[in-house]
Amino acid sequence: MKGQENAKRALEIAVSGAHNILMIGPPGSGKTMLAKRIPTIMPPMSFEEALETTKIYSVAGSLLNKGGLIKKRPFRAPHHTISDVGMVGGGHPPRPGEISLANNGVLFLDELPEFKRNVLEVLRQPLEERRINITRAGISVTYPAKFMLVAAMNPCPCGYLGDRIHTCTCSVAQIQRYRSRISGPLLDRIDLHIEVPALSYKELSSKEEGIGSKEVLERVLRAREIQRERFKNFKINTNSEMQASHLKKFCKLDKESQSLIKDAVEHLGISARVYSRILKIARTIADLDESDDIKVDHVAEAIQYRILDRKLLF
């Protein structure tokens, strides 16, 4: 994986704080490639996680090697034509869907705006509750659904808005319609959105490699440890799970950082509602920096990962 330093950094932050992430970029920019490598920078599965994952695959009847334990974190990438039952589970008897097959791993939704509206709708509750209850013909089962949501989309229907070489052929109305398919409560569950631009020839021909590097994983593990310690008397484990009371306690900002966010709200068109999301990301960035305090640099970087909130994109 060459270049894309900004995207790699964002993915490291996302995995560190267990934040969901949306990647926006033209076709061929490497979004799928990046998504597939995310499990390589996630902490290894604990024995309990491996058992839980294996159990789900067993119930789903998709255990490849009978009797063996699944040790690799799942990576699920259902096609956008998937039904709501395929996504969350169902049938007689109720079987786990993609969100449970992705448990302890990654659920990758490529071409996010192409998914059926009802399929995106049914994701909201499991994203919140981290499990899914399925009731069919009087039988009710609950399956775990703790997954990292990774989504990708083009910036516009033709894919080339903001591209350096190609010209976008979409009208403003087309772009707005395309974006509006995912706006609202689902977007609210996604802490980071980043641009993944097409690489230049120079970058593509460079020799530099990596995202799954050992150093990244080490930083992720350290950041997770800091969070575990912070939340040991609370019922959460990661920064992404913070509620208002945690934010108040653990995300205090100095004057400089406060005025930076205020400026962002006023000038970039970022809504005040997004404030808490910026705080969560800034907290994770500070943890990666092994800093107790959230500093202005952390906040400045966090604001960069909210591109969809800006009125003018790219």
Ligand X SMILES: Nc1ncnc2c1ncn2[C@@H]1O[C@H](COP(=O)(O)OP(=O)(O)O)[C@@H](O)[C@H]1O
Amino acid at 254: D
Of 204, 149, 219, 218, whose CA–CA distance to 1 is shortest? Answer: 204
Residues 14-33 that bind Mg ion (CB under 5 A): 32
Binding residue for Zn ion, selected from 56, 101, 161, 242, defined by CB under 5 A: 161
Residues 193-212 that bind ligand X (CB under 6 A): 199
237 binds ligand X (CB under 6 A): no
Burial 13-28 (b: 16+ CB within 10 A, else e): bbbbbbbbbbbbbbee
Q: In this structure, is the dihedral angle defined by the CA atoms of residues 171, 177, 182 and 185, taken in order, positive or negative?
A: positive
What does residue 178 show for φ and ψ, rounded to 5 degrees? -60, -45
1 binds ligand X (CB under 6 A): yes
Which one of Mg ion, Zn ion, ligand X, none is in contact with 3 (Cβ closer than 5 to 8 A by kind)?
ligand X
Whose Cβ is closer to ligand X: residue 142's or residue 200's?
A: 200
- The site that binds ligand X (CB under 6 A) totals a number of residues, namely 13
Residues 31-90 that bind Mg ion (CB under 5 A): 32
Compute the least distance from the CB of residue 155 to ligand X, in Å.
11
Angle at 102 between CA 97 and CA 106, to 5 degrees: 140
User: Rounded to whole angstroms, how far apart are CA atoms 214 and 211?
Assistant: 9
Q: What stretches of 148-266 adopt beta strand conformation (E)?
A: 148-153, 192-195
Residues 170-189 that bind Zn ion (CB under 5 A): 170
Residues that bind Mg ion (CB under 5 A): 32
Residues that bind Zn ion (CB under 5 A): 156, 158, 161, 168, 170
Residues that bind ligand X (CB under 6 A): 1-4, 25, 27-33, 199
